[in-house]
Amino acid sequence: MLHGETQENFIRRISREIGFSFCGFSKAEFLEEEAPRLEHWLNMNMHGSMAYMANHFDKRLDPRLLVPGAKSVISLLYNYFPEKEIAGGDPENPLRISKYAYGEDYHYVVKDKLKQLSSRMTEHLGSIEGRAFVDSAPVMDKAWAKNSGLGWIGKNSNLINKGHGSFFFIAELIVDLELTPDGPVKDYCGTCTACIDACPTEAIVEPYVVDGSKCISYFTIELREAIPDAYHQKLDDWIFGCDVCQDVCPWNRFSTVHNEPRFSPRNFILELKEKEWLEMEADLFSDLTKRSPLSRAGLEGMRRNVNSAAKRT
């Protein structure tokens, strides 16, 4: 029973109660604008060794192939902006880790929130067929968030919300529920090139196009081989991910601190220095990084990253 409240307003309200910052809706249909962009990006090999990016091309562009009978995509943003700057800056420990990776892995946290949202929707709206996604399937989450009016895709290829910046995880519920689409919002990047100018590896090859194979996040997380020598001095002390293009974005002056306890920094990540990373045993790494984003790089990957960052001069 919604007591006069529309389905859309109900879903928005309970999503906020659960912890999502923003919620929007778009029609589940083929992403015509994205198709040629994705094809060009792949043809230019900007996905590097991320072979999975070339898989399921049609499914990436049409959610109805992922969820038969889908009518709507519910896009949601979950804030992860920390209370204080925690990456680098300390001469004693200059190593930098992306803001999102200091606490529990967002896949677990946001997936739990999606389950709560789905459960409450079913309780009040009746049986709903659908699937939840958190950066773990061939879903073009930024495109759907843009189409749902949650922000625009900036020149650094991140989704930017005019009032709150870009430090958000994006998630979706693709459902067989008919919902009124919100439609996209205006692009407010204007003539600004801060992100392009600041990228240490010049990965933003033109406005709105990021060569993933040159990105520090790619080198420190996705790449399984040695980091090319030419990039060692460009890592800027980053050993897992990179926030440079977001940190310099003027819209992130409006970022607000998250209130998710599970994203609180784990002490070991704040305290470990180069030598300790390099000398760590596999069992200890496994224990320390359980349900942490850092586990994705693996111990050998983290050692490689630290060694590469150490070649800063």
Q: Any idea which residues carry the catalytic annotation? A: 135
Q: Report the Cα 97 to chain-centroid distance in Å.
A: 14
Instruction: Give ∠ CA 97-103-105 in degrees, rounded to 5.
Output: 95
- In the chain, the amino acid numbered 98 is S
How far is residue 57's CA from residue 37's CA, in Å, rounded to a whole number? 12
Please tell me the distance from the alpha carbon of residue 65 to that of residue 42, in angstroms, as a whole number.
20
Strand duo 96-97 + 72-79: pairing: unpaired
Contacts with 112 (C-beta within 8 Å, 6 or more apart), sequence order: none
Query: What's 212's DSSP letter?
Result: G
Whole-angstrom Cα distance, residue 2 to residue 225? 54
Residue with tokens 């440079």: 244
Separation of alpha carbons 286 and 284, rounded Å: 5
Which DSSP string corresponds to 40-63?
HHHHTTTTTT-GGGGSSHHHHH-G
Q: Helix (H, G, I), strand (E, B), or coil: what is residue 176?
A: coil
